[in-house]
Structure 1
Amino acid sequence: MAFFTSEYECKIDAKGRLVLPAKIKANLPESSGNELVVRRGFEPCLILYPMVEFKKIYSKIAGLNEFNEEYRKLQRNFFRGSSVVELDNNGRFLIPKLMLNYASLEKDAVVVGMGNKVEIWDPITYEQHLISDPSEFSKLAQKYLDE
């Protein structure tokens, strides 16, 4: 099982490639090989999955009843925003241009470990989506972890 944590400041080169931080790369499951899946996030960011983790989600989404209109909308939007990418020998992968645009990524990125997946954010957008009030963070933790 993949286990990603922390946040890292990264650069995107002129060709749209991002080098995965060494600690993220080291935690990739061997069974995923060099293949990863990048998809559009629900917020304006990208989500990067090891192939083994993406297959779990893929099975759930692909298994929905195609005769249900809402399920088809979910499938269409989920799969259109997903792309298989490969790590090169330098630990880089090419981010598709449409995805760079979606997440407003240019030269700088913040890579955030999120357990079984990784988020890739434009730094300014990332800051806007963080909780700035410690008491709000505390209340959320209490609400969802005290269950």
Structure 2
Amino acid sequence: MATFAGQYNATIDDKGRVVLPSAFKKAMGEMQLDFVVVERNRRSKCLDIHTVDAWKKEVEKFRNKLNPETNPMHDKLLQLYFQNFVQIGVAANGRINIPNEFLEYASLKDKVTFIGMQTSIRLSAAATATGMEVSDADYLELLKLIDKKEE
């Protein structure tokens, strides 16, 4: 499975086309790169890009918690869940063409930022990514919060 890390800036054109950073294409290595799955990230108002294999594993984990055949709420939840995803073809040069409704959802225009998130790639407006920067001191404080939870 590919592991993604790092932050890369890019430009998206008015047709929603953007090229995946070469470091991320390299991380995918020999994986079949015909398609990626793009998700509307409801927590951060951005897009998450998954390899098909990683996405299938996440879907399987989610579906195992549900019984849509006998529970109407589970069926509705499953429908809502899948509405957040679209499978997109990847050109030979790593270019993807993101549908307009996904671009609008994440307010993606012109300058964008890719951020490796281990098993996925986050895509957000460059201004949003810049707004997420924290000082070293604040970052260390956040790490301390995690340590306290483990005690």
TM score, norm. by length of structure 1: 0.87
Match of 2:113 in 1: 110
Aligned length: 146
- Identify if the C-alpha distance between structure 1 residues 143 and 126 changes in structure 2 by more than 3 Å, giving closer, same or farther: farther
After superposition, the C-alpha distances for 1:8-53 in whole angstroms (9 at most, x for unaligned) are 0011012111100000011115343321100101210101001110
Q: Is the CA contact 1:37–1:54 (under 8 Å) kept in the aligned structure 2?
A: yes
Matched, 1:76 2:71: no
Q: Matched residues, percent identical?
A: 33
**Equivalent runs, 1:2-21 vs 2, <5 Å:** 2-21=2-21
- Equivalent of 1:89 in 92, 95, 99: 92
Could you tell me how far 1:86 is from its partner in structure 2? 1.2
Q: Distance in 1 between matches of 2:108 and 2:31?
A: 29
Q: Is the CA contact 1:131–1:137 (under 8 Å) kept in the aligned structure 2?
A: no
Matched, 1:52 2:57: no
- Identify if the C-alpha distance between structure 1 residues 124 and 143 changes in structure 2 by more than 3 Å, giving closer, same or farther: farther
Could you tell me how far 1:143 is from its partner in structure 2? 4.1
Match of 2:142 in 1: 137
Across the aligned residues of Structure 1 and Structure 2, the Cα RMSD in angstroms comes to 2.1
Q: Which segment is superposed worse, 104-113 or 76-85? A: 76-85
> What is the identity, as a one-letter code, of the residue corresponding to 1:5?
A
1:2 alignment partner, SS class: coil
Q: Distance in 2 between matches of 1:141 and 1:28?
A: 30
TM score, norm. by length of structure 2: 0.85
Q: Which segment is superposed worse, 9-18 or 22-31? A: 22-31
Q: Distance in 2 between matches of 1:37 and 1:121?
A: 16
1:30 alignment partner, SS class: coil
Q: Distance in 2 between matches of 1:30 and 1:140?
A: 38
Q: Which segment is superposed worse, 68-77 or 110-119? A: 68-77
2:25 alignment partner, SS class: helix
After superposition, the C-alpha distances for 1:95-130 in whole angstroms (9 at most, x for unaligned) are 111000010001111100010110001122223445
Gaps of 5+ in 1: none
